[in-house]
Structure 1
Amino acid sequence: MARKVFVTSRPWQEAREEFLRTLRANGYLVELPAEEIDVTRALGRVTAAPVYAAISSPHYPAAAMDGIAVRAEATFTAGEGSPLELALGREAVTVDTGDPIPEGFDAVIMVEEVAFKDKGVAVIRRPAVPGQNIRPVGEDITAGELLVPAGHVLTPYDLGGMLSAGVLRVAVRPRPRVAILPTGTELVPPNPSPAPGQILESNGTMLAGQVTLWGGDPRVYPITPDDYRLLQERLLQAVAENDLVLINAGSSAGRDDYTAGLVAELGQVLTHGVATRPGKPVILGVVAGKPVIGVPGYPVSAALCAELFARPVIYYRQGLKPPRRERVRAVLGRKIYSPLGREEFVRVRLEKGGDRLVAFPTSRGAATIMALARADGIVVVPRLAEGFAAGQEVTVYLLRPLETLEGGTSSSQGQEE
Structure 2
Amino acid sequence: MTAHGTSTGRDAEDAEGLDVEEVLALVNDDRGPRPADRLPGPAVPAAAPAAGADPVGRGHAPRGDQETGGDHGGHRTHDSHESPGGRDGHESPGGHESHDAHHAQDAHHAQDPHGAHRGRKGPRAHGAIPWPGAREIAARAARAAVRSSPPPPVSVPLDAALGLTLAEPLTALTDLPSFDTSAMDGWAVAGPGPWDVREDGVLAGHAGHRPLGDGEAVRIATGARIPADTTAVLRTEHGRIDGKGRLHAAPRDRAIVPGQDIRPRGQECRSGDRLLPAGTLVTPAVLGLAAAAGYDRLRAVPRPRVEVLVLGDELLTEGLPHDGLIRDALGPMLPPWLRALGADVTSVRRIGDDAEALHTAVTTSAADVVVTTGGTAAGPVDHLHPTLRRIGAELLVDGVRVRPGHPMLLARIGEGRHLVGLPGNPLAAVSGLLTLAEPLLRTLAARPAPEPYGLPLQEPVQGHPYDTRLVPVVLRGDRAVPLHYNGPAMLRGIAVADALAVVPPGGARPGEETELLDLPWTTGGIGVCFT
TM-score range, shorter chain: 0.7 to 0.9
Matches within 5 A, 1:158-237: 158-192=286-320, 194-237=321-364
Q: TM-score, normalised by structure 1?
A: 0.80
Using a 3 Å threshold, how does the CA distance of structure 1 residues 364 and 164 change in structure 2: closer, same or farther? closer
Q: Which has the higher contact order (CA 8 A, sep 6+)?
A: 2
Using a 3 Å threshold, how does the CA distance of structure 1 residues 86 and 398 change in structure 2: closer, same or farther? same
Give the letter aligned to residue 268 of structure 1: E
Structure 1, unaligned stretches of length 5 or more?
A: 79-83, 405-417
Q: Deviations over 1:302-351 (max 9, x none)?
A: 11011100001111112123313543112535x6253x333333445677
Using a 3 Å threshold, how does the CA distance of structure 1 residues 332 and 298 change in structure 2: closer, same or farther? same
Question: Could you say which residue in structure 2 is the equivalent of 1:136?
Answer: 264
3-state secondary structure, aligned to 2:387: helix
Matches within 5 A, 1:355-370: 357=479, 359-360=481-482, 362-370=484-492
Question: Could you say which residue in structure 1 is the equivalent of 2:146?
Answer: 27
Give the letter aligned to residue 246 of structure 1: V
Give me the whole-angstrom Cα distance separating, in 2, the residues matched to 1:403 and 1:316.
Answer: 20
Q: Which has the larger radius of gyration?
A: 1
Note if 1:55 corresponds to 2:183. Answer: no
Question: Could you say which residue in structure 2 is the equivalent of 1:102?
Answer: 227
- CA RMSD of superposed structures (Å): 3.2
Structure 2, unaligned stretches of length 5 or more?
A: 1-42, 48-89, 92-125, 199-211, 524-531
What is the aligned counterpart of 2:190 among 45, 52, 71? 71
Question: Could you say which residue in structure 1 is the equivalent of 2:45?
Answer: 3
Give the letter aligned to residue 236 of structure 1: T
Using a 3 Å threshold, how does the CA distance of structure 1 residues 53 and 63 change in structure 2: closer, same or farther? same
CA contact (8 A) 2:473 2:480 kept: no
Give me the whole-angstrom Cα distance separating, in 2, the residues matched to 1:188 and 1:28.
Answer: 41
3-state secondary structure, aligned to 1:218: strand
Q: CA deviation at 1:376?
A: 5.5
Q: Deviations over 1:90-126 (max 9, x none)?
A: 44241413332333333333344242666x7555656
Give the letter aligned to residue 370 of structure 2: V
CA contact (8 A) 2:142 2:441 kept: no
Give me the whole-angstrom Cα distance separating, in 1, the residues matched to 2:447 and 2:520.
Answer: 21
CA contact (8 A) 2:233 2:261 kept: yes
Using a 3 Å threshold, how does the CA distance of structure 1 residues 145 and 359 change in structure 2: closer, same or farther? same
Give the letter aligned to residue 221 of structure 1: V
Matches within 5 A, 1:17-416: 17-27=136-146, 31-72=150-191, 75=192, 78=193, 84=194, 86=196, 88=198, 90-91=213-214, 92-97=216-221, 98-111=223-236, 112-115=238-241, 122=247, 128-192=256-320, 194-238=321-365, 240=366, 242-266=367-391, 267-289=393-415, 290-333=417-460, 336=462, 338=464, 340-347=465-472, 357=479, 359-360=481-482, 362-375=484-497, 377-383=499-505, 385=506, 387-388=507-508, 393=512, 395=514, 397=516
Q: CA deviation at 1:397?
A: 2.3
Using a 3 Å threshold, how does the CA distance of structure 1 residues 278 and 139 change in structure 2: closer, same or farther? same
Identity of aligned residues (%): 29
CA contact (8 A) 2:426 2:490 kept: yes
- Bigger drift between 280-289 and 121-130 goes to 121-130
Give the letter aligned to residue 330 of structure 1: L
Give me the whole-angstrom Cα distance separating, in 2, the residues matched to 1:37 and 1:65.
Answer: 35
- Bigger drift between 308-317 and 150-159 goes to 150-159
